[in-house]
Structure 1
Amino acid sequence: MLKKTLIAASLLSTSMLSSSPVLASDTIEVTDQNYAHAETARNYRNWVALGANQQITHMRNLPPRGNKAPTVQMNDDTLYSVVVAQAIDGRVQFDLPKTEVYSAVQVVTEGGHGQHYVVGAGRYDLPVETDYVFLIYRTGMEKGLDVARQTQDLYQDDSFKFDTYTIQNYGYDKVEEWTARLTEETQGEVFEYTFPRTSNEITDRHQWNLENANGWGGSSPEAGVANKYTNSVMLDGGKCLTTTFDDPKSKYFTSVTAYDNTRYLIEGVTNVNSHTWSKNADGTVTVSFNCGEQAVNNIDTKGQDFSFTMRYYGVSQPVMDGKISPEMTVK
């Protein structure tokens, strides 16, 4: 029988997500070498607090704003459902039903790697490199909230081995300090994610740490399947700014989402995506920031300084090749 957990925004209190459990004196020190594992453990821990190690846990609304969110830089286009489970003989199995809307599952290892990203109906039996996995179900909002919620109810969780994950013995206040410091390091530059799929694919440890701090749980770009993400620099929320770019032609959709300086969603701010955006006469797209209600595809950040993240769901080859870069043309 499908087990469902309704997550209300009121449950995602700052105190619940930031308070550390009682830890032994041999708390694991956070280092360059283990930061990605520590940040991953923090995210596992936040979702375990919401029941994701007992059953599939559905977030029935778009993510809360600010650090009430259980994960940094959550998207604002899909509903989330999450599972924290033990791998069985080094594999994880699950089904994705046939749905009316975008439906995908990402398998994130204890090292923070999105080892697999699958889209569409099917039975999946996938190898994983760690003992435990974090599954992110993303459910599209293109047909509205009711259809998205009905789709969430189709996800089955009877193939998972629950209730065995142990919260890792990090000092989570220290993990948050590392995350804040690494996030700040990238605010003065355009930041592009690579998200290596496995530990063997890491070529630059510091880059990998920066990616985990800025957008934990992102996917490795794969044309027509998985997603590509890029962040702009921090921008002045008191100015009217625009960016114009060729249609990215993502297989599923493209979104533009604003975040505060800690990479959390901003209260009262909505995103723009290709399901509803208006195009220019020449087929290009202009997105406006703080330019007034009449401006094309306007995102009002309420006067708050911000960066924006481009998400290409089912990224196209021109975006993969760097031929379309909206974050580089803001003026």
Structure 2
Amino acid sequence: MILKKTLLATSIISLSLALSACGTTTTNSDSNEFIKVTEQNYAFAETARNYRNWAALGANQHITHMRNLPPRGKAAPTVQMNDDTLYSVAIVEAQNGFVTFDIPQTDVYMAVQVVNEGGHGEHYVVGEGSYTTKVETDYAFLIYRTGTEKGLDAARTAQDRITTDQLKFGTYQVKNYDYKEVEAWTSKLTAETQGKVFAYTFPRSSSDVTDLHQWNLENANGWGGSSPEANVANLYTNSVMLKANQCQTTTFESPDSKYFTSVTPYDQSRYLIDGANHVSSNNWQKNADGSVTVSFNCGQEAVNNIDTNGQDFSFTVRYYGVNQKVLDGKVTPEKTVVKS
């Protein structure tokens, strides 16, 4: 496993250098032949950017295991990555419109999300079993999320149990967008949401999109998120941007997610912050009345403190197996922030 870890780390560094150097990867050197990015196809373009980034890490040839928590900043292959699970990713071809995959028996949380080429997480399944799911595009992006609640070694052991015998690799071709243009669209859309609380709906299919602009905002801020489903899939919410030079807290009723809940800070571009970690219901301290307080930049002695190392931030709350009371708006950490 040391070789696999080394290869993945090298691939991530190489990807980061490539993105920094030129901001684009394409199958055609003639920029006049790029697919133009529009409001109508932005979700496909942003999805292609994520497929392309992970293909550079080998996910088009085999399942790519991320053996540690994601890189901080834009070295990460995907915006707003989880800080509470390990990732394993496969880009596969659908067979007669279906993808079949397995989740092994493990003693930690493990889920698979099936994301089509339009950015829709058509399916989110949790727990051991063999699953056959229909997809509306020719290719699918499988995201295995493996829980770290028992530590990284336990998560890595669970990753090693994943089998891929039923997956067809190696036929996806990176789409011919100008990825500098895609990044510009993403930055513009992300900036639009920074002054407000933002909740994700993540419609499961193209026919479920009722507000195209909202859908584009969701892809820009948190591509690859799940469509909320009580006690199964996840709900995500973002706070407004907050200042790092003052102590701030949020207190809320215990969310009682079926699996766990986490709070993670992100920088202005929606990437993880160097040196800043999440807190989760797997280890947070509750108040005497059963509620939860999460502190930001309030010092090591503050309850459930997250230090953003002097960087302004927003935070995302993830409810894994969201409780109905959260879906009903009765638990809203992102709306209850106070300055101390």
Q: TM-score normalized by structure 2? A: 0.95
Q: Which amino acid aligns with 1:40?
A: T
Runs of 4+ in structure 1 displaced over 6 angstroms?
Answer: none
Say if 1:259 and 1:266, in contact at 8 Å, map to a contact too. yes
Please, which moves more after superposition, 12-21 or 247-256?
12-21
Which residue of structure 2 aligns with residue 11 of structure 1?
11
Which residue of structure 2 aligns with residue 128 of structure 1?
135
Which residue of structure 2 aligns with residue 239 of structure 1?
246
| Match among 68, 72, 84 for residue 77 of structure 1 | 84
Mark the CA change 1:305 to 1:71 in structure 2 (over 3 Å): closer, same or farther: same
Structure 2 Cα separation of the partners of residues 9 and 280 of structure 1: 40
| Match among 145, 153, 166 for residue 138 of structure 1 | 145
What SS does the corresponding residue of 1:311 show, helix, strand or coil?
Answer: strand
Structure 1 Cα separation of the partners of residues 10 and 128 of structure 2: 33
Q: Which amino acid aligns with 2:26?
A: P
Which residue of structure 2 aligns with residue 184 of structure 1?
191
| Match among 217, 229, 234 for residue 224 of structure 2 | 217
| Match among 16, 26, 47 for residue 21 of structure 1 | 26
Unmatched runs of 5 consecutive residues or more in structure 1: none
| Match among 45, 53, 59 for residue 46 of structure 1 | 53
Once the two structures are superposed, the pairs formed by residues 306-317 of structure 1 within 5 Å of their partners are 306-317=313-324
What SS does the corresponding residue of 1:257 show, helix, strand or coil?
Answer: strand
CA displacement at 1:15 relative to structure 2: 2.3
CA displacement at 1:8 relative to structure 2: 4.0
Structure 2 Cα separation of the partners of residues 30 and 241 of structure 1: 39
Mark the CA change 1:22 to 1:133 in structure 2 (over 3 Å): closer, same or farther: closer
Which residue of structure 2 aligns with residue 94 of structure 1?
101
CA displacement at 1:303 relative to structure 2: 1.1
Say if 2:11 and 2:56, in contact at 8 Å, map to a contact too. no
What SS does the corresponding residue of 2:108 show, helix, strand or coil?
Answer: coil
Structure 1 Cα separation of the partners of residues 115 and 4 of structure 2: 21
What SS does the corresponding residue of 2:111 show, helix, strand or coil?
Answer: strand
| Match among 314, 319, 328 for residue 321 of structure 1 | 328
Which residue of structure 2 aligns with residue 229 of structure 1?
236
- Note the aligned Cα RMSD (angstroms): 1.3
Say if 2:8 and 2:57, in contact at 8 Å, map to a contact too. no
What SS does the corresponding residue of 1:148 show, helix, strand or coil?
Answer: helix
Unmatched runs of 5 consecutive residues or more in structure 2: none
Mark the CA change 1:110 to 1:5 in structure 2 (over 3 Å): closer, same or farther: farther
Say if 1:104 and 1:117, in contact at 8 Å, map to a contact too. yes
Which residue of structure 2 aligns with residue 248 of structure 1?
255
Residue by residue, what CA displacement relative to the aligned partner does 1:151-171 show, whole Å, maximum 9, x if unpaired? 000001111111100100100
Say whether residues 1:264 and 2:271 are aligned partners.
yes
Structure 2 Cα separation of the partners of residues 185 and 11 of structure 1: 32
| Match among 120, 126, 140 for residue 119 of structure 1 | 126
| Match among 200, 206, 210 for residue 207 of structure 2 | 200
Count of matched residue pairs: 329
Say whether residues 1:281 and 2:283 are aligned partners.
no
